Structure 1
């Protein structure tokens, strides 16, 4: 990923998925793609077509705040996508600490997770490596390949399409969340390796990553199908771990008195004798560090 072209790639991708109807333009004539033309974006944003083309080609990488505000409006960017646009245009120094070394989870957080016997809980880094999982979370994801990394799981494990009944929606959310949490740090060597692996092995990942969707997750209702307890409708909450920037705590709960709560309780009964939080012995990070 060429860091000099990230802004242009983002603008082009969002232009191509923004339809004329979204910006109030009439449908006139044949279009090779459903998205906006460059000259249309330029006109709506109040800049010259030549200037906008330079932005997409990476020859102009320092648009003014006025231009960024206009592009946010024209491309109908949400708050997270708009923040991503600004970060690409005003990149901050790269973050350290997540370039291939195994991260540790706070012992206090591990004890807290272990006490939640009715609530699956995970701690992930910003690359979606699972750094820790309590017993109920380990049982929920048990038997799935690549369960040590949530984005690799959804794109590379064929069983994920059964585990996530709304697979397309869930996979798009994973790709958009990855872009949101990495921000402008797309040149990070570890991310490059992860994206290259997913791109090589999954055409669906290539398709979704190319859209440049950006969407973080704080609360989301998800549907699962567990091979032992059946259908589950669960709410996933995500919290930043302030003591370790980049780590995120994910809790998974069912609505009280719902069939999903009963199914989750049944799953919990099967692991009731296991009270020790499971720490993954190895993640893709460690394999990267060791050269494996």
Structure 2
């Protein structure tokens, strides 16, 4: 078994065990006899619910069975009560690795037309993310909202780009930006888990996960729970150093070119204090861009 396949087998087994542990016999309609040493269903119970042999299921959890059919994976997903995102993740983990070796990753670049698009959105904070949550580009307001302590040109330097997940866990200023940091952290890890399962041969993505696991106990604890969620919209709560408390709705749109780029935008409900605060930040940003303030200059960098 090569490195990529071994890693996938380990992730598949860990995910199956985590979901089996959260499913009680009562939830599954199974009569339980006697005390259980560990929470959740036993392997043989889950196998029975899925309609597969205990031996086959055990081998699947242990990473000793490759190329499981989609029918079997669907049966296991139903037995575990997985939601749509979890089911997709299970299928991704069960697929054979696309390559025999993890390939080195070339620096990514946002399409010029997409950069022009976000720059035209002067009143909307916008960021172009690569699939590893690295910032490929941001407009002035997106930079001012999320990372005014970074140089505006930082995304144009591939060797030292800002990464939204790394910033969230390792950058003090970013941590202070979110009034509901725990909620934001859980959402970030759940999204990254889904992406990691889809791109198991991505060395840079694996390196990012390894770095955060070593440097952040909070990331490591969240990652070990195998959360999975495709976060496309929601609300984020900020305490911004310039405009104080802001509540913004976010949307993530996938750029349809197969590169895995995503467009992240923020908006406020019209007429709310957050709308006023966002307009004020946009005004500050516009003044700074024309030389009337310090916002947007190369102030301090992590």
For this structure pair, what is the TM-score category when the shorter chain's length is used for normalisation?
0.7 to 0.9
- 1:147 shift after superposition: 8.3
For 1:269, the equivalent position in structure 2 comes to 283
- 1:25 shift after superposition: 4.6
Aligned residues: 275
Moved more, 140-149 or 249-258: 140-149
1:131-210 to 2 correspondences below 5 Å: 131-143=136-148, 148-210=162-224
With structure 1 as the length reference, what TM-score do the two structures score? 0.83
Given that 2:147 and 2:174 are in contact with CA atoms closer than 8 Å, whether structure 1 keeps it comes out as no
RMSD: 2.7
Match 1:58 to one of 53, 56, 63: 63
For 2:249, the equivalent position in structure 1 comes to 235
Secondary structure of 2:147's partner? coil
- 1:255 shift after superposition: 0.9
For 1:286, the equivalent position in structure 2 comes to none
- 1:201 shift after superposition: 0.6
Given that 1:113 and 1:121 are in contact with CA atoms closer than 8 Å, whether structure 2 keeps it comes out as yes
| Cα distance in 1, alignment partners of residues 40 and 161 from structure 2 | 36
Secondary structure of 2:249's partner? strand
Match 2:10 to one of 5, 13, 16: 5
For 1:106, the equivalent position in structure 2 comes to 111
- 1:182 shift after superposition: 3.5
- 1:254 shift after superposition: 0.7
Larger radius of gyration: 2
Given that 1:14 and 1:211 are in contact with CA atoms closer than 8 Å, whether structure 2 keeps it comes out as no
Match 1:212 to one of 226, 246, 265: 226
Judged with a 3 Å threshold, the aligned counterparts in structure 2 of structure 1 residues 49 and 235 are, in CA distance, closer, same or farther, namely: same
The Cα offsets for residues 87-135 of structure 1, whole Å up to 9 and x where unpaired, read as 22224635xxx94322222222222211212110000001000110101
| Cα distance in 2, alignment partners of residues 265 and 33 from structure 1 | 53
Judged with a 3 Å threshold, the aligned counterparts in structure 2 of structure 1 residues 38 and 130 are, in CA distance, closer, same or farther, namely: same
With structure 2 as the length reference, what TM-score do the two structures score? 0.81
Given that 2:240 and 2:246 are in contact with CA atoms closer than 8 Å, whether structure 1 keeps it comes out as yes
Given that 2:85 and 2:229 are in contact with CA atoms closer than 8 Å, whether structure 1 keeps it comes out as yes
Moved more, 26-35 or 72-81: 26-35
For 1:69, the equivalent position in structure 2 comes to 74
The Cα offsets for residues 232-284 of structure 1, whole Å up to 9 and x where unpaired, read as 21111111112352111111111111111111111111101328xx9x9xxxx
| Cα distance in 2, alignment partners of residues 92 and 117 from structure 1 | 42
For 1:284, the equivalent position in structure 2 comes to none
1:244-283 to 2 correspondences below 5 Å: 245-273=259-287, 274=289
Given that 1:219 and 1:237 are in contact with CA atoms closer than 8 Å, whether structure 2 keeps it comes out as yes
Q: Which runs of 5+ in 1 are unaligned?
A: 281-292
Moved more, 124-133 or 202-211: 202-211
Judged with a 3 Å threshold, the aligned counterparts in structure 2 of structure 1 residues 226 and 49 are, in CA distance, closer, same or farther, namely: same
Judged with a 3 Å threshold, the aligned counterparts in structure 2 of structure 1 residues 244 and 44 are, in CA distance, closer, same or farther, namely: closer
The Cα offsets for residues 130-170 of structure 1, whole Å up to 9 and x where unpaired, read as 11010111111135689811111112124444322222221
For 1:116, the equivalent position in structure 2 comes to 121
